[in-house]
A and B are shown apart, each in its own frame.
Chain A
């Protein structure tokens, strides 16, 4: 009984929560970015001080209205993309362990201007209900922490970039910073992502990562007494493949 219980906790920590998500990418409340609406709840600002809520709307197909004036529009290829979270579990007697949760339930649009520079309002949606790890019980706790019954959708809206030297559509890999509004658990925060992006012809590939805390998005890090606990800080990442058109 004791061994069974300890073993269960060792792989379960409720947790792990949330997370998830990534590059021009993810997460949020179900009402944050719906067709024909604005991000009314957003309080984040971009590098020019403009909240995503004030400049980004989407049509009925979840494509940003800004796409009509963009030079290039890339559509996320969900089958070859993923959003994930990585969290450290601290297990008494076993030290730290890393839990990885992933999903490829993504919908997104990446926008570039005529010169090949990223422009605001690129968006990625993630169905947080589909996040899975190697342990069902952990996944269950993740869903509880995320409250996916109420907030099944994660949303990320790009509001700006920093550190980009030149256009990204030159076939070379570029490393820069993406700034955008991340919505998870019904809370929208401005987040900064370290991104690596390459555009080669009609194909865009990239990866972006950021670190957030449970507290940032109104969640509590799970704790199981002296048996196990979860680091409050965790990493979100997204591996993205998108095609033009």
Chain B
């Protein structure tokens, strides 16, 4: 009984190579998206909106807001 690879080695290995390449490309794109917080579950950037210097040790809420 011959396996599919034995019967069609070129086609079979081509499929393997294409699949591996596709996975590699997808992983790289995933990594890039991760680095810029673009993945759906990553936090959407929220610029600091509080009063200036509030909460910084030594300044606190009493610090005048520029």
Contacts and interface: CB of A to CB of B under 8 A. Distances in A.
Given A35-B58, A139-B45, A105 B36 contact: no
Contacts, number: 72
Interface size class of A (residues with CB under 8 A): 35 or more
B33 A5 contact: yes
Nearest to A137: B45
A224 B48 contact: no
Among B47, B63, B66, the one with the most A-chain Cβ atoms within 10 Å of its Cβ is: B66
25 contacts: A5-B29, A5-B38, A12-B36, A14-B35, A14-B36, A30-B56, A30-B57, A31-B57, A79-B66, A107-B59, A107-B66, A125-B59, A127-B52, A132-B47, A137-B36, A139-B45, A140-B37, A140-B45, A153-B56, A153-B59, A224-B36, A225-B28, A225-B31, A225-B32, A227-B32
Interface of A: 5, 8-9, 12, 14, 30-31, 33-35, 62, 78-79, 104-107, 125, 127, 129-130, 132, 136-137, 139-141, 143, 148, 152-153, 222, 224-225, 227
